[in-house]
C-alpha cells in the first residue's frame, strides 16, 4: 500500500442537516491511502448522506472535508477530481452506452485514456457489454457500471454506497479484486454495506454509524481480536451495539 503522511480522506466534524433533522452529526473520519473502510450502520444512520457530502453532492452544515489534502469547500473542483462515488441507485446516463458513460465521467476528472477505461471495464466483466445502452442493463450490471464510474481516472478516494449488493458471485469477485487493486495503487476506499461477510473479508477497518454519529471504529489488533471470535463475530458485535428500533 502506498501510504503517505497526508490522509487520502480527512473529515472533521462533518454535520449535515435535512431541514431541522440532523442526518450526519459531527462525523470525523480519516482514511489513509490504501485503506479500505467498511461503513456499517442501520438504515437511516447517515451513511449515504455522509458519502454524498464527502463527494461534494450535498452541502454540509458544518465541518471540513479534505480529499488528498485538498479542501472541498475552498477548492471544490480540485477536490472532486480526486474522489469517485458510486451512489445508490447508480446515476447513469441511460441513453449513453456503458463505455460512453464511463468515458464522460473520466473526462470530467481530466482523464482521456480510453485504453485504461476499457481495461477497467474488462476487469469488472463489462467489456463484452460496453457498447450497450445503460438503460438496457440489469441491476447487477448497473451496480458495476456505478463502480466503474467511481474507479475510473484513479481517484484518491473511492466511495461506494452499497455498490456490492446484488452482484453474482463472479461479478462480486471481480468487484472485490478491483477494489483491492485500487487500494494497492494507493486509493482510500470507503464502502457502506450491509454485507457483513464482505466487510469482514475486504475491509482493513470497520466504522459503525448510528443516528448520524460514529459509534464504533475498529482497526488493527482490535479488529483482529474481533475476527478471532470466528464467523459471525462482526454481526454479533453489530447486533449488540445497535438497537433494533423496529422491534421496540
By CB under 8 A, is residue 227 in contact with another protein? no
By CB under 8 A, tell whether 233 contacts another protein.
no
Q: Strands 83-86 and 157-161, how do they pair?
A: parallel
Number of residues located near another protein, criterion CB under 8 A: 46
> Which residue, 8 or 172, is less far from another protein as judged by CB?
8
Distance CA 14, CA 177 (A): 31
Asked if residue 194 binds another protein (CB under 8 A), the reply is no
Q: CB of residue 169 vs another protein: minimum separation in angstroms?
A: 27
**CA angle at 11 for the pair 7 and 15, rounded to the nearest 5°:** 175
Positions in 102-131 near another protein (CB under 8 A): 104-105, 107-113
d(CA 174, CA 183): 14
Instruction: Determine which residue in the list 59, 180, 224, 243 makes contact with another protein, applying CB under 8 A.
Output: 59
Contact 205, 36 (CB under 8 A): yes
**Position 156 contacts another protein (CB under 8 A):** yes
Please choose, out of 77-85, 164-172, 206-214, 216-224, the segment that lies near another protein by the rule CB under 8 A: 77-85
1 binds another protein (CB under 8 A): no
Phi-psi region of 110 (alpha: psi -120 to 50; beta: other; left: phi over 0): left
**Residue 78 found at the interface with another protein (CB under 8 A):** yes
Query: Per CB under 8 A, does 66 bind another protein?
Result: no
Q: How far apart are the first and last CA of the chain?
A: 44
**Choice between 81 and 205, CB closer to another protein:** 81
Question: Which residue, chain included where needed, has cell 438503460?
Answer: 135
Cβ 156 to another protein, closest distance in Å?
5
Stretch that binds another protein, among 35-43, 180-188, 217-225, 237-245 (CB under 8 A): 180-188
Q: What nine digits make up the cell of 168? A: 453474482
Cα(213)–Cα(53) distance, integer angstroms:
14
Which residue lies nearer to another protein by CB, 58 or 195?
58
Cβ distance 59 to 42 under 8 Å? no
Amino acid at each position: 500500500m502506498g501510504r503517505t503522511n497526508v490522509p487520502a480522506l480527512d473529515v472533521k466534524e462533518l454535520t449535515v442537516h435535512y431541514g431541522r433533522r440532523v442526518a450526519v452529526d459531527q462525523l470525523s473520519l480519516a482514511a489513509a491511502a490504501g485503506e479500505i473502510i467498511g461503513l456499517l450502520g442501520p438504515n437511516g444512520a447517515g451513511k449515504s448522506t455522509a458519502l454524498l457530502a464527502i463527494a461534494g453532492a450535498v452541502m454540509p452544515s458544518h465541518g471540513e472535508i479534505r480529499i488528498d489534502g485538498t479542501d472541498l469547500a475552498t477548492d471544490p473542483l480540485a477536490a472532486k477530481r480526486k474522489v469517485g462515488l458510486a451512489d445508490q441507485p447508480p446515476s447513469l446516463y441511460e441513453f449513453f452506452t456503458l463505455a460512453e458513460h464511463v468515458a464522460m465521467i473520466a473526462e470530467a476528472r481530466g482523464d482521456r485514456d480510453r485504453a485504461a477505461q476499457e481495461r477497467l471495464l474488462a476487469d469488472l466483466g463489462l467489456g463484452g457489454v460496453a457498447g450497450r445502452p445503460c438503460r438496457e442493463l440489469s441491476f447487477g450490471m448497473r451496480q458495476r457500471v456505478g463502480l466503474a464510474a467511481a474507479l475510473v481516472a484513479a481517484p484518491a478516494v473511492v466511495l461506494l454506497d452499497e455498490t456490492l449488493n446484488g452482484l453474482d458471485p463472479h461479478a462480486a469477485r471481480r468487484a472485490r479484486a478491483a477494489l483491492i487493486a485500487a487500494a494497492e495503487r494507493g486509493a482510500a476506499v470507503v464502502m457502506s454495506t450491509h454485507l457483513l461477510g464482505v466487510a469482514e473479508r475486504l475491509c482493513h477497518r470497520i466504522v459503525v454509524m448510528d443516528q448520524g454519529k460514529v459509534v464504533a471504529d475498529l482497526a488493527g489488533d482490535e479488529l483482529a481480536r474481533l475476527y478471532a471470535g470466528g464467523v459471525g463475530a462482526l454481526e454479533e458485535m453489530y447486533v449488540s451495539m445497535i438497537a433494533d428500533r423496529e422491534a421496540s
